[in-house]
Amino acid sequence: MASDIPKVVPLTCHGHSRPVPHLSFSSIVEDDQYYLISACKDNNPMLRDGVTGDWIGTFMGHKGAVWQARLSADANIAATAAADFSAKVWDTHSGECLHTLQHAHIVRAVAFPIQLNPQVLATGGMEKKLRIFDLTRSESSNGSPTSPQAFSSNGFGLGSGSMTSYEIGPGVHGGAIRSIVWNQDYNVLTTAAEDRKIRWWDLRSRHPVVEYAVEGTIGSCELNTLVTMPNDPGILGVASGKSVYLFDGTSPGHLLKKIDFKYEVASVAVNNETGRFVTGSAGDTWARVYDLQTDEELEVQKGHHGPIWSINYSPDGKLYGTGSEDGTIKLWKACRESYGLWR
């Protein structure tokens, strides 16, 4: 069975000069508008119009490869994780660096809550430490180094009184943290680490609720939710080794299904509404589209000239973006009707 979505030429977003290890979309912020941010090994994360791929601006300031980049739910601030031992927080309207969060090693992952407030950020990386920063209580701005500020338990459920440490679950991660996902439940975070473990953390107890061991090196780990499905619990998609693991977005550790492939899977994105998922491979340059129920391959999207390290669906599920080793981002139409620049 071929896909019922007509094949169209993807939109190619140029501008980066090195591989793109991560990209992510904001939620829909006004009308049908949303935004796309990309991390790149050229040190310069970029902000784009999510519908058209048009360049809006470049965040200048990192002195090392940027491994991950995310937007807050309202797209007013962005966060980036970099090899210069820092995470940075940016104003997306002015491009100004609001905070530089210093670490002792390479930062690989950042995450904002799905909820709009409070403004907090989770970071992780080669230190093997999961940290929470309260951005509203920082005493430093204008990009100067920010040390962790103590924050009260109000709204966090992190114990009583004032907290001087942001670290959650010291000593638990046995490898670098590759990805952090904030769950629909504000008190639950998910981490994917190089010790081949997916962990769900309760911020109230600061301990993992569930650990799940996967086979192979973890590529991407993303929570896939759509604004077009108001009660969508979301699906946590994990690419690991030659398999894709799909977990229930609201039930920590609940595996919905595991799909095995003949190739190393580097990235995966899921669209629960259309019943599709897309994978990128470490060994070729194609994006493959599958049926979520039958696992049947529906399409092979060709156009990149390097492995696809990151895939994400837009918040309305009408397109998906791919970030590649070739330094480009491509936007692929994922709906039958006319949409965006494909009108």
The pLDDT tens digits of the residues spanning 10-32 come to 999 999 999 999 999 999 998 88
Is 60 exceeded by the pLDDT of residue 333?
yes
Domain boundaries defined on the chain: 11-342
pLDDT in tens, 33-69: 999 999 999 999 999 999 999 999 999 999 999 999 9
What are the backbone dihedrals phi and psi of residue 94, each rounded to the nearest 5 degrees, phi first?
-100, -20
* Better-predicted residue by pLDDT, 32 or 327: 327
216-246 tens-digit pLDDT: 999 999 999 988 887 788 999 999 999 999 9
Q: Kindly report, residue by residue over 139-195, the tens digit of the pLDDT.
A: 444 444 443 333 333 344 333 222 233 799 999 999 999 999 999 889 999 999 999
State the residue for tokens 């639950």: 188
What is the number of alpha carbons within 13 Å of residue 223 lying toward its C-beta?
29
Residue range 290-324, pLDDT digits in tens: 999 999 999 999 999 999 999 999 999 999 999 99
Per-residue pLDDT, averaged over 66-74, amounts to 95
Give the whole-number percent of the chain exceeding pLDDT 90.
80
Q: What is the spatial distance between Cα 234 and Cα 181, in angstroms, rounded to a whole number?
A: 12
Determine the pLDDT at residue 229: 80
Residue 143: predicted pLDDT: 44
In the chain, helix, strand, coil percent, each to 5? 0, 45, 50
CA distance 81 to 64: 10
* pTM, full prediction: 0.90
- Written as six digits, the tokens of 292 are 């979520």
Q: How high is the pLDDT of residue 151?
A: 33
What value does the mean pLDDT take over residues 95-121? 90
Asked whether the beta carbons of 234 and 188 are under 8 A apart, the reply is no
According to CATH, what is the number of the domain 11-342?
2.130.10.10
Q: Please give the pLDDT value at position 6.
A: 64
- The residues facing 308 across adjacent strands are 324
Token pair belonging to 108? 């690989």
**Token pair recorded at residue 49:** 């119009």
User: For residues 205 and 56, what is the distance between their CA atoms, to the nearest angstrom?
Assistant: 41
What's the whole-number mean pLDDT along residues 117-123? 83
* Cα distance between residue 138 and residue 115, in whole Å: 20
pLDDT class for 3, splitting at 50, 70, 90?
A: low
Strands 207-213 vs 120-125: parallel, antiparallel or unpaired: unpaired
In angstroms, how far apart are the furthest CA atoms of the chain?
A: 59
